[in-house]
Amino acid sequence: MLLYFYPQSVNLTIQIIFIAFSLVTAIQLFYYLFFFSRLANYKSPGVDTDKEVQPPITIIICAHNEEANLNNNLPLILEQAYHIGGLPQFEVLVVNDNSTDSSEYLLAELQKENSHLKVLNLTQESQYMKGKKFPLSMGIKEASHQHLLLTDADCMPTSSFWLAGMAQQFSDEKSIVLSYSPYFNEPSSLNRKIRFETFYSGMQYLSYALAGIPYMGVGRNLAYEKKLFAESKGFASHHHLVSGDDDLFINEVANKKNTAVLIDKNCFTYSRAKDSEAKWQAQKERHLSTGRQYKLKHKLLLGLFAVSHLLFYLLFLVNVILFKWIWIALAIFLIRMFVVWLIQSQCMKKLYESDLIKSIFFFDVWILVYYMKNLPNIFSKKNPVAWK
């Protein structure tokens, strides 16, 4: 073998590479076994359909030219099973943000039959507060109740117990509730990519929250108390950014004591994924641009996982090329891949994304390419100009 004729310095370099490969694999295994296994094995409290209704809730939906989505989804939200003596113990507040379609007239018609539907028609924009943050801030200000549940106009709750399940997670200690908001399964490769990226993000933020390190939430299915918003001065620290009304706010105010996690299919909200790469890319540019604003500990936590993932493949390829301890390197590679498959498949089942299980190994490589492609958006100081 040629390796026997390598100079000593070359052999030392090869040993260092092998040790580095073993180290990054160990880091990857730590993330999967210590963090992500928490979601895989989580026994969520779910929703108790017989529990007494409490507390009163305001559901807030910010909408800009969403007539079709409001027509399809708003009735399902208005019909949530959250009543006492036949009277709804919740209000649905739609902030109609400078819409130029017929949303205002549709909402007016729905109000005639639903006394718990409240509409705030905005006809002005804020130069101080970007994106969705201004209409959402106005909605929170107008909310009648102290407990808030946020979703979007294009989101459809999976059951009439969505509101009850989210509300039941509030307590004297818990003032934030995180849940999951997947996309509908549609027959296209783009849909599968979007859904996997959503799952991958969900696996991380839900697992870290279960480990006592909440760092973000998703505004399509997120609940918190109004006083928490007021005490933190709302979006003041990141008012200039279009995105961040959900993840940056939660990154700022969430901690291991005040955050609850609900994983129950009855309490998910589904929406349709973008139907073109360009639309999805624009959406992700807005979302990824907020990552650099996270707390340092969260950036380190997320960064170490991503870097170790990339180095795992690069260092394995170097070991293969050098043909040094190839069988040991292959065994280490297969151990990591087995753990990834085992835990991701369990998390997919937990989040009702089981059809993605057969593609886990493909997506394990694809997600690296995806994030490498989007590195400029993560570190760029460019601020997108609109949320819709």
Do 110 and 240 reside in the same domain of the chain? yes
Query: Could you tell me the CATH number of the domain that includes residue 105?
Result: 3.90.550.10
Q: Residue 142 belongs to what domain range? A: 57-288
Do 143 and 77 reside in the same domain of the chain? yes
- Whether residue 384 lies inside any domain: the answer is no
Q: For the residues 174-184, what does the mean pLDDT come to?
A: 97
Tokens 């100009």, located at residue = 385
Do 109 and 222 reside in the same domain of the chain? yes
Do 37 and 175 reside in the same domain of the chain? no
Question: What local confidence, expressed as pLDDT, does residue 7 receive?
Answer: 59
Whole-angstrom distance, CA of residue 74 vs CA of residue 77: 5
- Whether residue 386 lies inside any domain: the answer is no
Domain end call among 288, 312, 333: 288
Question: What local confidence, expressed as pLDDT, does residue 44 receive?
Answer: 84
Do 174 and 67 reside in the same domain of the chain? yes
- Whether residue 46 lies inside any domain: the answer is no
- Whether residue 26 lies inside any domain: the answer is yes
Question: What local confidence, expressed as pLDDT, does residue 315 receive?
Answer: 95
Question: What local confidence, expressed as pLDDT, does residue 292 receive?
Answer: 78
Say yes or no to pLDDT of 113 above 50: yes
- Whether residue 184 lies inside any domain: the answer is yes
Q: For the residues 305-322, what does the mean pLDDT come to?
A: 93
The band of 11, judged by pLDDT with boundaries at 50, 70 and 90, is confident
The band of 96, judged by pLDDT with boundaries at 50, 70 and 90, is very high
Say yes or no to pLDDT of 285 above 50: yes
Q: For the residues 256-283, what does the mean pLDDT come to?
A: 93
Do 281 and 310 reside in the same domain of the chain? no
Do 22 and 112 reside in the same domain of the chain? no
Say yes or no to pLDDT of 167 above 90: yes
Domain end call among 228, 260, 288: 288
| Mean pLDDT over each residue of the chain, to the nearest integer | 91
Q: For the residues 331-359, what does the mean pLDDT come to?
A: 98
Domain end call among 241, 269, 288: 288
Do 145 and 283 reside in the same domain of the chain? yes
- Whether residue 9 lies inside any domain: the answer is yes
Number of domains making up the chain: 2
Cα 140 to Cα 94, 148, 263, 365, 378: the distances in Å are 11, 8, 25, 41, 29
The contacts of residue 356 (CB under 8 Å, 6+ apart) are: 192, 195, 196, 199, 348, 363
Instruction: Determine which helix (DSSP H) or strand (DSSP E) holds 151, and give its type and residue range.
Output: strand 147-152
Cα 112 to Cα 49, 86, 118, 144, 386: the distances in Å are 28, 18, 11, 19, 32
Q: For the residues 253-266, what does the mean pLDDT come to?
A: 96
Say yes or no to pLDDT of 3 above 80: no
Alpha helices in the chain (DSSP H): 8-30, 37-40, 67-78, 103-113, 133-142, 162-167, 189-210, 226-231, 247-253, 277-288, 296-322, 326-350, 360-373, 375-379
Q: Who has greater pLDDT, 118 or 284? A: 118
The band of 381, judged by pLDDT with boundaries at 50, 70 and 90, is low
The band of 4, judged by pLDDT with boundaries at 50, 70 and 90, is very low
Say yes or no to pLDDT of 293 above 90: no
Do 208 and 355 reside in the same domain of the chain? no
Question: What local confidence, expressed as pLDDT, does residue 112 receive?
Answer: 95
Do 177 and 316 reside in the same domain of the chain? no
| Token pair listed for 243 | 């995105």
- Whether residue 52 lies inside any domain: the answer is no
β-bridge partners, 176: 224, 259
The band of 306, judged by pLDDT with boundaries at 50, 70 and 90, is very high
Do 91 and 9 reside in the same domain of the chain? no
Do 191 and 98 reside in the same domain of the chain? yes
- Whether residue 362 lies inside any domain: the answer is yes
Question: What local confidence, expressed as pLDDT, does residue 377 receive?
Answer: 63
